[in-house]
A = this chain, B = another copy of it.
């Protein structure tokens, strides 16, 4: 062991430090399709915030870059470590510390998985409403990327559902931000600044989550449309209806075919309807009252037909759940289908029809494929990109991102920038904002040890 390893082992214990060949392949990557795995020199598995603080202090002294890792299910390479770096894995800090039913909050460690949080909140009749599809994801990782998911149309994304943090600054101080209160106007909102910072500002070691009552009644409506434009035009009307769907997704016909096939779904859609369909809307409603739910579903069905749906299928129980689960696995479906990248542009929802038309044109011109599905209610378009040539793909993504930004959107709605889209981000974003973000980064991390190369290229600047 080198000096650094000795120091790190003193902090977390020898059993919780991996080096050299002891570092498993899994630690070398997340799920980003375009980011090459890199084995870090050290993997440390701390058990407490104090250990995390000691690790960061040691890393600062030795100028070792540090990457944080939850479950490794991210899609932007923000958890891909550096070859000379320390990977801090939160796998041992994985507990749900408290479910507070009076204040409707849960306090969890960053390594807690969404499925664990879901199980424990369910037992209390409550729900943590951020469901980014992959339930093995960790809450800490979700904080890093500001994860979203299908229910964001009603409940918002991670930043709307995290009330407070305990976090370790790269300088080794342990701070607490926010807490069990739903509001505060007492200085800068450090909670919100750390959320979505992809491990570049501070490492969350405890997270206070906002919970909602778990509503007992739900139904899912599937509506095929002959025309993708009609789907997109329908979306703002459904949002405006006051029916408050908690899921409002579109799935284009190719993506639906792929997920139906992969998951052996039986949706009960006649062949002639399916063949005339260009895209589907999936709308889920929930209610604390069964009668109200049924009335709402009826109203929704009528509204969808008025808006051009060729038919309306109400799915309940297992078939609804299976469709939603299949949609959640769209990433895996795309990956198995040979997609070369998956992106998640966000645009104002009214811009979706024009945007998707232009994406098709850009993809065709670039001899590439771009198919997808997305959180339509949020304007969050998930596209599987088929183009083997890295340079052509880079250019196509550049054009797609630039188009989205011109129309009021952003590169990512919930996956983050990471290293996968860093160059696009730095090239396309206003240089004044990039410079401001660099200065903010420096105000947290003067030595530049936290996740250098993520978001913007910023190396370790002092030894």
Contact surface of A with B, Cβ cutoff 8 Å: 100-105, 145-148, 152, 156-157, 159-160, 169, 173, 175-177, 179-190, 192-193, 195-197, 201, 213, 215, 236, 239-242, 288, 292, 346-350, 378-380, 408-417, 425, 429-430, 432-434, 436-437, 439-440, 442-444, 455
Taking the closest CB of chain B, its distance from the CB of A57, in whole angstroms, is 13
Q: For the complex, give the distance between the alpha carbons of A180 and B182 in Å.
A: 24
Q: For the complex, give the distance between the alpha carbons of A193 and B196 in Å.
A: 12
**Is there an interface contact between B439 and A443, defined as CB atoms closer than 8 Å?**
yes
Q: For the complex, give the distance between the alpha carbons of A160 and B414 in Å.
A: 17
Contacts beyond the supplied A185-B416, A190-B436: 20 A-B pairs with Cβ under 8 Å: A101-B236, A102-B236, A102-B349, A104-B240, A145-B185, A146-B184, A147-B185, A156-B160, A156-B182, A175-B430, A179-B348, A181-B348, A183-B378, A184-B346, A184-B412, A184-B413, A185-B415, A186-B411, A189-B193, A193-B193
Which one of B185, B415, B444, B455 lies within 8 Å of A413 (CB-CB)? B185
Which one of B100, B182, B413, B433 lies within 8 Å of A183 (CB-CB)? B413
**Is there an interface contact between A182 and B103, defined as CB atoms closer than 8 Å?**
no
Taking the closest CB of chain B, its distance from the CB of A416, in whole angstroms, is 5
**Is there an interface contact between A197 and B186, defined as CB atoms closer than 8 Å?**
no
Taking the closest CB of chain B, its distance from the CB of A139, in whole angstroms, is 15
Q: List 6 A-B contacts (CB under 8 A).
A: A104-B239, A146-B185, A181-B409, A183-B414, A187-B455, A439-B443
**Is there an interface contact between B157 and A437, defined as CB atoms closer than 8 Å?**
no
Q: For the complex, give the distance between the alpha carbons of A281 and B132 in Å.
A: 38
Taking the closest CB of chain B, its distance from the CB of A7, in whole angstroms, is 23
Which one of B147, B201, B417, B440 lies within 8 Å of A186 (CB-CB)? B417
Q: For the complex, give the distance between the alpha carbons of A145 and B177 in Å.
A: 18
**Is there an interface contact between B187 and A417, defined as CB atoms closer than 8 Å?**
yes
Taking the closest CB of chain B, its distance from the CB of A146, in whole angstroms, is 4
**Is there an interface contact between A173 and B432, defined as CB atoms closer than 8 Å?**
yes
Q: For the complex, give the distance between the alpha carbons of A443 and B378 in Å.
A: 32
Looking at A176, A189, A292, A434, the one whose CB has the most chain B CB atoms below 10 A away is: A189
List, in ascending order, chain B residues with CB within 8 A of A179's CB: 348, 408-410
Which one of B146, B159, B184, B413 lies within 8 Å of A410 (CB-CB)? B184
Q: Which residue of B lies closest to A455 (CB)?
A: B187
Taking the closest CB of chain B, its distance from the CB of A451, in whole angstroms, is 13
**Is there an interface contact between A288 and B186, defined as CB atoms closer than 8 Å?**
no
Q: For the complex, give the distance between the alpha carbons of A192 and B410 in Å.
A: 16
List, in ascending order, chain B residues with CB within 8 A of A147's CB: 185
Q: For the complex, give the distance between the alpha carbons of A413 and B350 in Å.
A: 34
Q: Which residue of B lies closest to A241 (CB)?
A: B213
Looking at A146, A184, A444, the one whose CB has the most chain B CB atoms below 10 A away is: A184
Q: For the complex, give the distance between the alpha carbons of A215 and B241 in Å.
A: 11
Q: Which residue of B lies closest to A377 (CB)?
A: B182
Which one of B183, B236, B380 lies within 8 Å of A380 (CB-CB)? B183
**Is there an interface contact between A183 and B157, defined as CB atoms closer than 8 Å?**
yes
**Is there an interface contact between A433 and B185, defined as CB atoms closer than 8 Å?**
no
Q: For the complex, give the distance between the alpha carbons of A182 and B442 in Å.
A: 28
List, in ascending order, chain B residues with CB within 8 A of A416's CB: 185-186
Check A379/B182 contact, CB under 8 A, given A173-B432, A350-B102.
yes
Taking the closest CB of chain B, its distance from the CB of A180, in whole angstroms, is 4
Q: Which residue of B lies closest to A192 (CB)?
A: B192
Q: For the complex, give the distance between the alpha carbons of A416 and B184 in Å.
A: 8
List, in ascending order, chain B residues with CB within 8 A of A410's CB: 179, 181, 184, 186
